[in-house]
């Protein structure tokens, strides 16, 4: 069900939600959090689709903010329920003029009571997520530097303003790589890694975060080899005295794990989709201490 509410107020939106709840059942029961999506001036539909899929594991109320530039100063809203909202209820707010100057005040009446708040910027990264009007009210703040015009610069700026609760989907996209590398190093022979090499797309922030994680975790030199047309991370090489460990994924789908004196292992390792990354981030509402350490200290190691 889609309900359009042009030139409205948050008070009227709340009344309509209550009406639909009374007529159609307890829509808000079982909601575990409020997810605020700040799409700014971008088309929010891809982000809404990913959030709807994620809501099947994390039932939530989704509040979407998007800017419109039609010369008006009003607030238009759209409520999506039932099959149009996954396991959530979606409220799309299209703001213009003065209506968009106080985003926190705008969304506050729509927050679920006594439920955690997650803020997500799927496109442009705010100057300081924890100080942003939406970030100050959120327990978790999700950015996506892969969507920025200068991902590397944005990532390093986030390192300067990092606060507990911040995370970035570029970090989440490398989760499976980190898990495989950690599992491999947890097997004999337990030798120190002398040098590591990360190969990947020239500007993809996951390449930088993977290299920073290795530098911070293994305390070894890490080289980054950048390839303009590579599909995200394509290879990680760990040099040890007994021979190299190589995790290679040239096609973005299947990886080959090669180790000394062992047969080659083929592993399904597709590039993670937006929905998968969002689901993972919504599983935790506490600070990701490893991400914070890698962002603040690991990046400095590879930059040095």
State how far the Cα of 176 lies from the Cα of 254, in Å rounded to an integer. 12
Residue boundaries of the structural domains of the chain: 2-168, 169-304
- The CA dihedral of 193, 194, 198, 202, to the nearest 10 degrees, is 150
Q: Is the pLDDT higher at 175 or at 25? A: 175
Gyration radius from the chain CA atoms: 22
Mean pLDDT calculated for residue range 277-293: 96
Residue 96 pLDDT greater than 90, yes or no: no
**38 contact partners, CB below 8 Å, separation of at least 6:** 65, 103, 119, 120, 121, 126, 134
What pTM was computed for the model? 0.93
Q: Give the pLDDT of residue 99.
A: 52
Using alpha carbons, select from 83, 86, 3 the residue that is nearest to residue 278: 86
Mean pLDDT calculated for residue range 1-27: 84
pLDDT tens sequence across 147-164 = 999 999 999 999 999 999
The angle at the Cα of 214, spanning 182 to 262, to the nearest 5 degrees, equals 45
Architecture of domain 2-168: 3-Layer(aba) Sandwich (3.40)
**273 contact partners, CB below 8 Å, separation of at least 6:** 50
Residue 174 pLDDT greater than 70, yes or no: yes
Q: Which residue has the tokens 């062992």?
A: 262
State how far the Cα of 212 lies from the Cα of 298, in Å rounded to an integer. 4
Q: Which residue has the tokens 């149009």?
A: 84
Question: What band does 73 get if pLDDT is binned at 50, 70 and 90?
Answer: confident
Count of Cβ atoms closer than 10 Å to residue 183 Cβ:
10
The angle at the Cα of 211, spanning 258 to 203, to the nearest 5 degrees, equals 110
């Amino acid at each position: 069900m889609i309900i359009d509410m042009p030139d409205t107020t948050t008070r009227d939106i709340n009344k309509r939600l209550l009406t639909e709840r009374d007529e159609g059942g307890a829509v808000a029961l079982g909601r575990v959090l409020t997810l605020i999506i700040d799409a700014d001036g971008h088309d929010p539909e891809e982000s809404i689709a990913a959030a709807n899929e994620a809501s099947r594991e994390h039932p939530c109320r989704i509040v979407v903010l998007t800017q419109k530039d039609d010369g008006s100063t009003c607030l238009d809203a759209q409520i999506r329920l039932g099959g149009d909202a996954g396991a959530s209820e979606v409220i799309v707010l299209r703001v213009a003029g003065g209506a968009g100057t106080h985003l926190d005040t705008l969304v506050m009446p729509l927050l679920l009571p006594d439920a955690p708040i997650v803020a997500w910027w799927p496109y442009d990264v705010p100057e300081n997520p924890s100080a942003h009007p939406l970030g100050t009210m959120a327990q978790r703040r999700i950015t996506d530097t892969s969507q920025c015009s200068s991902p590397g610069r944005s990532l390093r700026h986030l390192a300067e303003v990092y606060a507990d609760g911040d995370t970035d989907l570029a970090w989440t996209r490398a989760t499976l790589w980190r898990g495989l590398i950690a599992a491999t190093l947890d097997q004999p022979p337990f030798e120190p890694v002398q040098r590591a090499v990360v190969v990947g797309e020239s500007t993809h922030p996951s390449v930088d975060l993977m290299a920073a994680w290795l530098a911070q975790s293994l305390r070894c030199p890490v080289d980054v080899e950048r390839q303009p047309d590579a599909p995200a991370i394509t290879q990680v090489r760990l040099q040890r005295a007994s021979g190299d460990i190589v995790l290679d994924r040239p096609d973005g789908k299947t990886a080959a794990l090669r180790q000394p004196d062992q047969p080659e292992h083929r592993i399904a390792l597709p590039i993670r989709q937006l929905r998968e990354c969002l689901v993972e981030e919504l599983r935790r509402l506490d600070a990701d201490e490893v991400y914070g350490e890698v962002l603040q200290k690991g990046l400095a190691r590879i930059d040095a």
